[in-house]
Structure 1
Amino acid sequence: MDSTFTLLDLGWQAYFQQQLSLEDLESNRIARVCSKNGNQYEIVSEFGFSTLDGHSAIPMMTVGDWVVTDMEHQFIRRLEPSSVFENIASNIDTVFLMCALNEDFNLALIKRYLEITHEAQADAVVILTKADVCDDISEKRAQVEKLDPLLIVETVNALDADSLRCLSPLLKKGKTIALLGAIGSGKSALINTLMKTTGDGKQQINIGESGVLKIMPSGAILLDTEDMRELQLAQLESNLASSFADILALEKECRFSDCRHEGEPGCAIKAAVKAKRLDEQRVADFLLVHNNDNDDDSVTKSKPQEKFYRSAQSDARARKHSSVD
């Protein structure tokens, strides 16, 4: 494993340079957190790898953070991050939001991914995969582009290197990227194709033993942690509970506990739409996520789902009391 990197190799940007003092430039060192294990952080600099043991003087940090240390690798301070996925990762420049163009295409999920990424202050690019098996690419792409006129949307076959050439401008040296997408969206296929040896013989380089930061053949840095892969479920549940709390509360009034709100008798949600108490498009967005979650088990909810529903009900009650006050 190559242990010699420049700061640019590791993702250094002008934004961080502006935070350095004269003393930092003359007497201190700059390093990036490349893995975290409990309260211990592995950091990497131009001088190689070292570890920081968490204590009261060290703030909670995540993979991707930049830190200033002294010559003995002792922590001095953390630099202000450019983007933050709380307690998961930081300083990600661009997030590829992955969605397949087959029957798994889900506009509501893409909206949620955009919300997550914008909240983190990172740039979002939507990658629509499995273009080789889709007959209505233009229609689906147009739906995504309507979400934001400035949003970059690419349609690709993640298994075909030529198809991924459109991503080259986004994979410049020193840029840190991450991926978000549901199972089956093509994340692994995309990573594997992008990581293949290029014509000039360059290969991926793991930064540290954990390999959660990888330098791609293009020079871009892939940040791929277990927490980042699991982020989608936790964040989507949180966003859904916040965005659709009133619909989730109304769902409890349906005649059948396993109602999918697709025309069953006694459906309180459909009745509210008919009475124009709920917006039809908003309910459609809710159902895209709701029924996808329940496809795996339409009767018994998992513990995360139970927690999600309890949170939604509490939110609905809080809104109701607030309106009364």
Structure 2
Amino acid sequence: MDSTFTLLDLGWQPYFQQQLSLDDLESNRIARICSHQDNTYELIDESGLFSLSEHSEMPDMTVGDWVITDADHLFIRRLDRASVFDNIAANIDTVFIVCALDENFNLPLIKRYLGLVHEAQADAVVILTKADTCEDTQEKRAQVERLDPILIVETVNTLDPDSMDCLSPWLKQGKTIALLGAQGAGKSSLINTLMQHDGTSLPKIGTSNTLQPIPKGAILLDSNGLRELQVAQYKGGKIESFADILSLAEDCRFSDCQHQGEPGCAIAKAVKQDRLDEQRVANFLLLRFEETDDGIKAKSKPQGKFYRSAQSDVRARKHSAAE
């Protein structure tokens, strides 16, 4: 069943209003893309849901895009985007970067997410969770704040709605938000608390649940593409947390050393000399390798990509220090 929404309910902003022509205001329809599956876009406007079939004359479009059609739902144009994430999500105003303050605290991952958000031209707010499990909350918060002098960092209890009042400025009607964070960071708890309301049913936007209305008025954009993107960034950020081991790997006798007993392995030497913790090295190797169907260990493509990227960063820092 279609529910009635205003454009403001759907995340409409003055930036898009400025792109409208007189015909758009008088005769055409303004809609937002809810999902894209099997060469078909699902859109919603003030009258309800409708579909557009993808064709070659259309520009690249994705979830969150605003589109102009005529009265018969024929495509006219896509409005310019305020932000875009690798063409998998568009027109997100603010991204909540969620990170736990427990043993999963990962500063390199936060840096990766910040770079992703800045590249997309969206705003970022870092939300630190699980402060009750952390003895050095203020120090870790200070580490995050040092990443950017104007970065907003909030510490919340994701199970307590009152502690999340600090997020209200980004949850107003007309705003679109998204969340990025590793598994276990507290994203699900945060979303569940944000979605708490007075017991009345919130209207549903589309059939994919990619756009979800929040009781305070904002729209949550949660697409499969964004989930895949944050997993890839997580792998890269996790690898970077082993920068000291990556640096040692540069000193191995063989450039393709797998650090599993080869002669001249600098990592094995460091473990033997008690300069590296053996369990930490094991965790590093688990991150680099995954089990294939036939039981043979092989480096995955995404992990290999980010391993090489992180290794290059370490190499560049070493060369810079030498100079």
Residues 250, 69 of structure 1: alpha-carbon distance in 2 compared, 3 angstrom cutoff: farther
In the alignment, what sits opposite 1:217? 215
Deviation at 1:315, TM superposition (A): 10
Residues 194-221 of structure 1: CA distance to partner in whole angstroms, max 9, x if unpaired?
11114xx555432001111011111110
Candidates 197, 204, 207, aligned match of 1:206: 204
Q: Structure 1: how far apart are the matches of 2:95 and 2:230?
A: 12
In the alignment, what sits opposite 1:42? 42
Deviation at 1:36, TM superposition (A): 0.9
In the alignment, what sits opposite 1:226? 224
What is the 5 A alignment of 1:112-261? 112-198=112-198, 201=199, 203-235=201-233, 251=249, 253-254=251-252, 257-258=258-259
Q: Structure 2: how far apart are the matches of 1:5 and 1:173?
A: 12
Residue 30 of structure 2 corresponds to residue 30 of structure 1: yes
Unaligned runs of 5+ in 2: 272-279, 292-296, 316-323
Candidates 241, 260, 269, aligned match of 1:265: 269
For residue 97 of structure 1, what is the amino acid of its counterpart? I
Conserved? CA contact 2:251–2:266, under 8 Å: no
Conserved? CA contact 1:34–1:213, under 8 Å: yes
For residue 117 of structure 2, what is the amino acid of its counterpart? T
In the alignment, what sits opposite 1:94? 94
Q: Structure 1: how far apart are the matches of 2:23 and 2:94?
A: 31
Unaligned runs of 5+ in 1: 268-286, 318-325
Conserved? CA contact 1:94–1:177, under 8 Å: yes
Conserved? CA contact 1:129–1:155, under 8 Å: yes
Larger deviation, residues 37-46 vs 294-303? 294-303
Deviation at 1:240, TM superposition (A): 9.5
Q: Secondary structure at the match of 2:153?
A: strand
How many residues align? The count is: 292
Residues 241, 110 of structure 1: alpha-carbon distance in 2 compared, 3 angstrom cutoff: closer
Q: Secondary structure at the match of 2:164?
A: helix
For residue 149 of structure 2, what is the amino acid of its counterpart? P
Larger deviation, residues 64-73 vs 296-305? 296-305
Conserved? CA contact 1:97–1:124, under 8 Å: yes
Larger deviation, residues 227-236 vs 159-168? 227-236
Query: Over aligned residue pairs, what C-alpha RMSD do you find?
Result: 3.4
In the alignment, what sits opposite 1:294? 287
Residues 196, 45 of structure 1: alpha-carbon distance in 2 compared, 3 angstrom cutoff: same
Deviation at 1:135, TM superposition (A): 2.0
Deviation at 1:87, TM superposition (A): 2.5
Larger deviation, residues 89-98 vs 38-47? 38-47
In the alignment, what sits opposite 2:106? 106
Residues 15, 202 of structure 1: alpha-carbon distance in 2 compared, 3 angstrom cutoff: farther
Residues 144, 313 of structure 1: alpha-carbon distance in 2 compared, 3 angstrom cutoff: closer
Q: Structure 1: how far apart are the matches of 2:22 and 2:110?
A: 44
Conserved? CA contact 2:97–2:180, under 8 Å: yes
